[in-house]
Amino acid sequence: MTEVLLLHHAQGLTEGMVAFADRLREAGHTVHTPDMYDGNTFSTLDDGIGYAREVGFGEVQQRGVRAADSLPAELVYIGVSLGVMPAQLLAQTRAGARGAVLLEACIPPSEFGGAWPAGVPVQVHGMDADPFFAKEGDLDAARALVKETDSAELFVYPGDRHLFTDSSLPSYDPAAAALVTERVLDFLARC
Q: Concatenated DSSP letters for 44-100?
A: SHHHHHHHHHHH-HHHHHHHHHHTTTTS-S--EEEEEGGGHHHHHHHHHHSTT--EE
CATH number of the domain where residue 25 is located: 3.40.50.1820
- Contact at 8 Å (CB) between 115 and 45? no
DSSP 5: E
Residue 113 banded pLDDT, cuts 50, 70, 90: confident
pLDDT in tens, 1-36: 899 999 999 999 999 999 999 999 999 999 999 999
Query: What average pLDDT does range 46-57 have in this prediction?
Result: 96
* Structural domain of 145: 3-190
Q: How many domains in the chain?
A: 1
- pTM for the full model? 0.97
Residue 188 banded pLDDT, cuts 50, 70, 90: very high
